[in-house]
Structure 1
């Protein structure tokens, strides 16, 4: 069997296999018990990096956990009974219907980020596959997977000529490999004991044909000389603006059995709309800003102005589907696009230690989170199914000055895992 081109449905759609949980007697759910946020945070904590943690830039780590199923809470109780069909949940003041009760994760996940060696940062991509008995490969092989698996891999437009080995990692009972874009000679001698053992079992490999770029590509001086971030180093694995699509298919050691969505391949995308001081469309300096005095240094985060009008598909637009309200509170059976972001509220929030904005979906809403003080774990993901990717939770750390745009049809959450208060500015419109 060979890996084939992905085939996905041509338009976004609501997954009819997701479940709606009906609260007992229409009462409010107890969000303090088995909250799915802690389940997701636990997945992050269980990730075992191939080298010791000090070899990785923590704030650069970007986790992608595909999932296959959601359980959502119903619309709050009514005399005529709760509304369970998402297309008909039109009570904009009822937030219960947005909240996620549970999810079922897929059997593989990815992590990307920067690894550091002797003061230099190099991009990497981690691929991890569950060694348990519930995976398609385990079942196909009679639960006898052996010491390693193989993965067929395509990162952006670069695909492997040969399969990549996924060796078994006994530390977390998974098959996994980290592909590093290391370009400076002998890596083995520069790693710690854990990293060297990983290289010996091929848990760390150098693949500059797939993992591209360096941290230097997006230094302030280089970006300012080029003016626009998004046109630079388009092959970069850690590009701060462009999404990173990854396509995968897994097989056993003998290549007899495949886990590949019946030949379509798994396709996931790192695509959190994450902006801030280090993630922006364009940067530079403007003299006498708007007729003022001196020099203003700017970072353009999202824009429909000037040369940005058509770049990246106009990120501030909203695609309005048949189940969506438009900016005027109306619905239409015809698909159309609003070329702007509507704003109906602006909020300031203080999140205490261990305070969580739960995982919830927005059917109609677009919303921006901006971190003003502190740091927190940001989660985004798809609620509806999009044609170019599987649904997945993407998890990153937000710091002061970071900003995330959540589109309609998305899931999101914010988790304060620190001992300090965090301050958040939030604004959006119509849900």
Structure 2
């Protein structure tokens, strides 16, 4: 069972003075950090729709319940399902590490890249441990269970972070294909060809190669797998060679790109049915989430119940290991998000939920309110295009922003909280 961490603090709200969500909004704060991300090479070499940002959390603050429960600040006891104020995030602080992954394309190569960053300056844990940091630090890194390898990470004055960007491409001929920014990054070590750590090719998941096979079995160590999560085990060191003071002092921290987005591009399997259910013609299908037939046991739609959770029948006090082997649906809503409209960062203690984008586009945020047991608590941000859905597990923080100049249409369903 995961270690239960409800939250760091809950802010009591004065019943006569409701929160002002227009001031210092945490969703805009987080997406501002996404906008300020800088990449090593020329921006046109990156596929913007593929970018996934990971921001590990240090602290989290939630708003407390509305009146008359304004003094009930223990989330385990906040059972009023119609009080939405108690779900909303008030503020957060981030840990020292950040990560981005996505697709890059240069010449005849299209493949994954991974960017890792560590906070510069004396406010980082590594600086406090070592006393002072130089023009480069080290990182001992394992990607998808690979052998841990040392990586030199130079200081980047542009961002005030120690940053390295690892491409899953061999280095032969790369310099001649890069522009001035990319060549400078290659020379400084900010950009490094590391196919030994970042594996996979763009053609590994081409649709014409998929013949109703289980996509989870295709290239499982691929750094941009469309269905499987990508885990990084990271240990930062004050010395570029991996020696000296370290963060964490022993072992490593596990980062995880876990957001479950499925749709026309991301699916478990694809196939064709002739005369579907006694009909006519041919039906092409993509299996997104399923506990049916050969997909039984995937556990994508079940949730583990903590003792404080209200289950689908409204009961609490569950034993360790109890699960709900289904996705409870007690509401279905259609939403229209105007331009620059965002659903704020919030959490549901007791239910799972699905965000299905019908028209338009959005930036989806999913994070960890409680410790998931599979990664360090984090916010994860990635694009949610039309025809794709994001599945939220119980306890996930989440939010959605429509950054476009046109409306976005959204279908939402899940259990009520």
Q: Deviations over 1:130-150 (max 9, x none)?
A: 1121001212333x3111110
Deviation at 1:52, TM superposition (A): 1.6
> Is residue 343 of structure 1 aligned with residue 317 of structure 2?
no
Checking the alignment, whether the CA contact within 8 Å between 1:329 and 1:430 is kept in structure 2 is no
Q: Deviations over 1:112-170 (max 9, x none)?
A: 1101112542101101111121001212333x311111000011110334x21001111
Q: The residue matched to 1:172 in structure 2 has which SS?
A: coil
Q: Deviations over 1:369-411 (max 9, x none)?
A: 0011111110001110122211000000111101000010100
Deviation at 1:172, TM superposition (A): 0.9
Q: Deviations over 1:201-245 (max 9, x none)?
A: 011111111111111011101122x62211111010001111111
> Is residue 12 of structure 1 aligned with residue 3 of structure 2?
yes
> Is residue 46 of structure 1 aligned with residue 36 of structure 2?
yes
Q: 1:236 aligns with which of 222, 232, 236?
A: 222
Partner of 1:129: 118
Quick one: distance in 2 between partners of 1:282 and 1:288?
A: 19
Partner of 1:5: none
Instruction: Note the residue ranges of structure 1 that are not aligned, 5 or more in a row.
Output: 1-9
Partner of 1:199: 186
Q: 1:96 aligns with which of 73, 80, 85?
A: 85
Matches within 5 A, 1:2-81: 11-15=2-6, 18-78=8-68, 81=70
Q: TM-score, normalised by structure 2?
A: 0.96
Matches within 5 A, 1:260-409: 260-311=247-298, 314-335=299-320, 336-409=322-395
> Higher mean Cα deviation, 112-121 or 346-355?
112-121
> Is residue 111 of structure 1 aligned with residue 97 of structure 2?
no
Deviation at 1:256, TM superposition (A): 5.3
Q: The residue matched to 1:343 in structure 2 has which SS?
A: coil
Q: Deviations over 1:322-381 (max 9, x none)?
A: 111111111123131111111010000000011110000110010000011111110001
Checking the alignment, whether the CA contact within 8 Å between 2:107 and 2:177 is kept in structure 1 is yes
Instruction: Note the residue ranges of structure 2 that are not aligned, 5 or more in a row.
Output: none
* Structure 1 ranges of 4+ moved more than 6 A: none
Checking the alignment, whether the CA contact within 8 Å between 1:325 and 1:430 is kept in structure 2 is no
Quick one: distance in 2 between partners of 1:119 and 1:293?
A: 42
Count of matched residue positions in the alignment of Structure 1 and Structure 2:
415
RMSD (CA atoms): 1.5
Checking the alignment, whether the CA contact within 8 Å between 1:327 and 1:430 is kept in structure 2 is no
Partner of 1:4: none
